[in-house]
Amino acid sequence: MSATATRAARSPRTKAPALSPAQRKDQRSYLWFLLPGFILFAGLVGTAFIWNVVLSFTRYKGVGKAQFIGFDNYVRLFQDPVFWESFLHAIMFIGAMSILPTFLGLFIGAMIFDYIAPRFGNGASAFMRGGLYMPQIVPLTITGIMWVWLLDPSTGVINTFLKGINPDWQPNWLGDANLAFWSVSVIMVWVQIGYTIVILMSGMARLDPSLSEAAQIDGASWFQRFRIITVAQLGPEIGVVLLTTTVAALKVFAPIYVMTGGGPGTATQVPAYFSYAEFFNNHRVGYGAAIATVLAIILTIMAIIILYVQTRQSEGRNKR
């Protein structure tokens, strides 16, 4: 997704030569193509973002006049245990939405690619990939409704199934503060794997198969080939998948809204939902804006890291 940004942008970093008048006229004609999209986008996002930052320095209930209070919201924020807890949860979601799905995606993707596609045909491989991708295609809110229903403590599928094994074993998956975070995490793994598999398998298709075949003839086991050849060569794809899913984990909102509302208590509170609730449920707009601004700053730093890593990657590739 983001690899393209730098691929398109890699060359202009070398100093452009002075333009001739004809070229300058040419450039100006292209400017007209740039302006509509750029002005609309920068205008909308820029205005909203600056507005949000300004709001974060005020006390504002959504109606009436906003009162400027300097850094008070931020001071309060850093002393607020719920704020730290919400960020801790967001970081823990990186495990469920990024690291684990990438690891499983590599493993399952490689098995489909190496075993299923060559031996059982592309149809079988496409079916498996498509089946695992299904949770990606359905809106998160709908899969959320589905899981709330599956995990219902009294009528849900999971507990009905468990009752058959042990009648006393009827956990309240989303309603128990000790369980809710882990239940949501498992669901997020279920959601995310399709994305990692599709991207990583497209990377596997790029690799030269003769290397792996030669290793196999020399007696390397599948796992050795997977570890030494496949994983080692998929560096760029693994990087992209890890970074984009990490961004998604830090932004997670809809599943929390639908499944737990941040609760029970603050057991599944995350920054995105926390700021939303401050804006629209608790009418503490300034405080919500401060939370959102901190989240935006963290994600901007992530974006700059992604940009930097990819620029270096594509520059390295150009030198080769």
Partner 1 sequence: MSEKIVEVAQDGSFIVMDETPAKPLKARRSELKKKSIAAWIIFIVLLLVVVGWLFPFYMALINSFKTEAEFMEGGPLALPHGINISNIIKFWNDVNFPLKLWNSVLVSVVSSAIGVALSALTAFALGIGRIRGRFWLLAVFMVAFTIPQEALIYPFYKIAKQVGLYDSLLSVILVIGIMNIAFGTYMLSSVLEEFPTELLEAAKIDGATTWRIFTSVVFPILRPTLFVLATFFFIYSWNEFLLPLVLLPSNDNQTVTLGLAITTGQWTTDPTARAAAALLGSLPSIIFFFIFQRTLMRGVTMGSSK
Cβ atoms of residues 230 and 208 within 8 Å: no
Task: For the CB of residue 271, give the shortest distance to partner 1 in the complex, in Å.
Answer: 8
Contacts of residues 296-304 at CB distance under 8 Å and 24 or more positions apart, as own/partner, are 296/49, 296/52, 298/250, 299/247, 299/250, 299/251, 302/243, 302/246, 302/247, 302/250, 303/2, 303/247
Q: Which is nearer to partner 1, 179 or 307 (CB)?
A: 307
Task: For the CB of residue 256, give the shortest distance to partner 1 in the complex, in Å.
Answer: 11
Q: Which is nearer to partner 1, 178 or 202 (CB)?
A: 202
Task: For the CB of residue 112, give the shortest distance to partner 1 in the complex, in Å.
Answer: 7
Q: Where does residue 99 rank: exposed (0-12), middle (13-18), buried (19+ CB within 10 A)?
A: middle
Q: Which is nearer to partner 1, 48 or 75 (CB)?
A: 48
Q: Round to whole Å and give the CA distance between 284 and 91.
A: 25
CA torsion through residues 118, 122, 124, 130, sign: positive
**Of 190, 201, 93, residue with least CA distance to 132:** 190
Task: For the CB of residue 178, give the shortest distance to partner 1 in the complex, in Å.
Answer: 23
Task: For the CB of residue 237, give the shortest distance to partner 1 in the complex, in Å.
Answer: 6
Q: Which is nearer to partner 1, 93 or 195 (CB)?
A: 195
Q: Which is nearer to partner 1, 97 or 241 (CB)?
A: 241
